[in-house]
Structure 1
């Protein structure tokens, strides 16, 4: 169905523009001939909406963009248009969920941007969820500490929200796959998580409880344990250390090695994964990861 035909059938049809002064929620939005158009809901009678939904590509939330960069990310992740992001060194997704319906996305985005040290694209996925893209341009750039800013976000925006922070991604050609991965993990973890900010390592217990589908658990293990998976001696050392209830002396005896050698291997594991397994909380996460690995064998 062409735009001209729709315009004849529905005089209220409008084209979505960044500076448009309309109430987004009053329209049904579709992609036609590569353009986003809206039709007033009140103009759709009977089964007309059902028919349009079946023939046209529906757009849940057309977005007014604050920058060209934000437009590119929206088109890449939501509309499937290809853009090149080779000018960034790495990136990560911050998937957000809020408890109450978001009535003014523009104000919400302004509140988010006011907290961060530099502009970041914000994509609205629904009235209750969306994604923030943190782009890293050079190795001197500091990552945002979301656990430090979450209380400020909640108090400034007057909403209760949760954030799932993905790992850093380094391959710009995999933006869409990484987005779907982040979205799936976030949707699995967030309903049962108590913390306002959840990172992948903290998500492990929830992923086990909710039995995430095959393939995702393998990626979780590979993402967190990194290159230690290629060092079987190191993994065995860590496993024995964990089974010895973090007692270096006992683990060294079981492995028939010097305490200093054991300590060196534990430090090596920490350096690679970023998990200090001398702390109980991190040791517990690694135990769960080993359990996930054993389940697959």
Structure 2
């Protein structure tokens, strides 16, 4: 294919060379991640469509990505990558390696990608690669040499990025997976969860699996079931917003009255009073595990039914 293009376009094609007038070229990458540029004035829309069947079109911004970044971008975001996954993973060629995906979404179109990546190098201690799907959605690929890394992700990392770049970011840190043929399907599963529930978690910049899995499961239930479920469980307290806010904090802080009071800027006794009041009105003991789970799901269902 490449030889045919060289014969056809002759002096209008360059390979693995970046000229000063990059914007005058239409850029592609082949299966070996070689970069091919064809002068825009010589390529028709029909030619572009045909070439795109065999090569991957890339933007000027993507030209500055490393070959490994382009490879991961193809693995995660290209539709036919599943068919090539074995060959692509062989190119990475890292034995005994584990991967964690941190997917993120920026509410507004974002164009400072290189500065964003440089900022991450100062915030993350792990080895990582960052790839972008578009100007709002990207994925950080953390690379580990052991299955249970002691290094935990700092919840304030994305708060720092939000402050530095004046943008709204929601991120999701997934599970740790071995670098094998099941990796991409695991990524797509996590991506499905993230895309489904990120609209419900606007007040938290970094989400963990335990944050979003309950919402994802609830999302599989019909909307009218949400309403019936929350109404039946919450009953008379459903209109008491202050009480529900207090109970939500109590549950999210592991049923710890003192931590919930600190979060809500309330006296500990006031929180305890509301917990007891809630138990009395609903008949469900939220100090027990089963009671807490039931009410937490009811609160999520109530919130989703209201959106």
Match of 2:28 among 27, 30, 45: 30
Shift of 1:210: 4.7
Say if 2:13 and 2:36, in contact at 8 Å, map to a contact too. yes
Match of 1:202 among 184, 208, 211: 211
The match for 2:286 is 246
For 1:6 and 1:193, the matched residues in 2 are separated by 49
Task: Provide TM-score, normalisation by structure 2.
Answer: 0.57
Taking the TM superposition and a 5 Å limit, the aligned residue runs for 1:227-266 are: 244-246=284-286, 248=288
C-alpha distance 158-244 of structure 1, shift in aligned 2 (>3 A): closer
Moved more, 57-66 or 126-135: 57-66
For 2:196 and 2:24, the matched residues in 1 are separated by 31
Match of 2:133 among 125, 129, 133: 125
Shift of 1:95: 0.6
The match for 1:167 is 175
The number of residue pairs the alignment matches comes to 225
The match for 2:89 is 82
Shift of 1:288: 7.9
CA RMSD of aligned residues (A): 4.0
The match for 1:181 is 189
Gaps of 5+ in 2: 222-281, 302-307
For 2:41 and 2:119, the matched residues in 1 are separated by 32
For 1:104 and 1:25, the matched residues in 2 are separated by 18
SS in 1 for 2:128: coil
The match for 1:45 is 44
C-alpha distance 243-135 of structure 1, shift in aligned 2 (>3 A): farther
Match of 1:56 among 54, 57, 60: 54
Say if 2:102 and 2:140, in contact at 8 Å, map to a contact too. yes
| 1:141 correspondence with 2:150 | yes
Shift of 1:51: 3.4
Rg bigger for which structure?
A: 2
SS in 2 for 1:207: helix
- Residues 199-233 of structure 1 deviation map (CA, whole Å, 9 limit, x = unaligned): 22222354246549xxxxxxxxxxxxxxxxxxxxx
Task: Provide TM-score, normalisation by structure 1.
Answer: 0.58
Shift of 1:282: 8.8
C-alpha distance 206-24 of structure 1, shift in aligned 2 (>3 A): farther
SS in 2 for 1:56: coil
For 1:283 and 1:130, the matched residues in 2 are separated by 34
| 1:15 correspondence with 2:22 | no
- More helix per residue: 1 or 2? 2
C-alpha distance 99-246 of structure 1, shift in aligned 2 (>3 A): closer
For 2:28 and 2:178, the matched residues in 1 are separated by 33
C-alpha distance 288-71 of structure 1, shift in aligned 2 (>3 A): same
Say if 1:85 and 1:172, in contact at 8 Å, map to a contact too. no
Say if 2:215 and 2:300, in contact at 8 Å, map to a contact too. no
For 2:9 and 2:144, the matched residues in 1 are separated by 47
SS in 2 for 1:82: helix
| 1:105 correspondence with 2:103 | no
SS in 2 for 1:154: helix
For 2:23 and 2:294, the matched residues in 1 are separated by 45
C-alpha distance 247-176 of structure 1, shift in aligned 2 (>3 A): closer
C-alpha distance 22-187 of structure 1, shift in aligned 2 (>3 A): farther
